[in-house]
Amino acid sequence: MIRVAIDGPAGVGKSSTAKSLAKYFGYAYLDTGAMYRACAWWCMKQGIDLDAETIDERIVTETVGEFFTGDHFDISVDPSAPKVYADGEDISEAIRSSEVSSHVSKVSNVIPVRNVLIAAQRAYIAREASADSFSEGLGIVAEGRDITTVVAPDAEVRVLLTAREEVRQARRTGQAVKGVGVEDVAARDKADSKVTSFMTAADGVTTIDNSDMDFEHTLDVLIGLVEEAI
């Protein structure tokens, strides 16, 4: 089984390239950012205060714990239909709202929350090696901020996908046309950098700077890295 770990900052195109890479090889696809976004969405829905000044990390941890242990959360690892559910409701679009984007770092900065999600992510990755897997043991592409370093540091392929800040901001602003909302990617990266290290590659991690590459080119480079590992 091949595990592909991809980390990188906001707006670099991780999700779309990771999804296409998984489809190309028939692997499962795990969007760990979607898991943090679902937690923020759930907390907001429960009326939990996520204001930086007044946030109660204990309450956020309890709320996220209940989301997972109470079986409210579900995610599909099929790269052709990567959906996220809360109590059976498809929240895949709702978790991309600008409200969620601007609050997600408050939730992902809470260390006990990270521990719950890291354990869940490792379980999804381990499941791909079992008979219960989506990809029948072929592999999984997992993307986020701490996959190459914390969640799966022993992955067969480890990549840091990055691009210059102005390029990433322009890509995100372009997506805003589709209703995702304009956001300050640098501000989110700064907040996320407090607890995860994704701006420079860890030892053994291949950096791909796609500032001057289009989508197909980035995908080709990733396909080449996976083929080398197979």
Annotated binding site for ATP: 8-16
Residue found under tokens 């901020």: 145
Site string for ligand C5P, 90-129 (x = CB under 6 A): --------------xx--x---------------------
Q: How far apart are CA 93 and CA 83, in angstroms?
A: 9
DSSP category for residue 89: E
Nearer to ligand C5P (CB atom), residue 15 or residue 26: 15
Quote the least distance from Cβ 114 to ligand C5P, whole Å.
7
Does 50 interact with ligand C5P (rule: CB under 6 A)? no
Given 3, 19, 103, 145, the residue binding ligand C5P (CB under 6 A): 145
Q: Which residue among 36, 42, 67, 68 contacts ligand C5P (CB under 6 A)?
A: 36
If binding is defined by CB under 6 A, does position 61 make contact with ligand C5P? Answer: no
- Write out the DSSP string of 147-158: IIIII-TT-SEE
Nearer to ligand C5P, 3 or 188 (CB): 188
Give the residue with the Cβ less far from ligand C5P, 128 or 146. Answer: 146
Cβ proximity to ligand C5P: between 199 and 228 the closer is 199
Cα separations in angstroms, 210 against 155, 165, 181: 22, 11, 23
Query: What single-letter amino acid sits at 228?
Result: E
DSSP designation for 168: H
For residues 147 and 31, what is the distance between their CA atoms, to the nearest angstrom? 10
Instruction: Decide the pairing of beta strands 2-7 and 206-209.
Output: unpaired
Among 2, 5, 6, 10, binds ligand C5P (CB under 6 A): 10
Question: What residues from 175 to 214 belong to the interface with ligand C5P (CB under 6 A)?
Answer: 188, 192, 196
For residue 56, give every residue at least 6 positions away whose Cβ sits within 8 Å of its Cβ, in sequence order, or none: 49
Q: Which of 144, 183, 201, 218 binds ligand C5P (CB under 6 A)?
A: 144
| 210 contacts: CB under 8 Å, gap ≥ 6 | 12, 13, 161, 162, 163, 217, 218
Q: Which residues of the chain form contacts with ligand C5P (CB under 6 A)?
A: 10, 32-33, 36-37, 104-105, 108, 144-147, 188, 192, 196
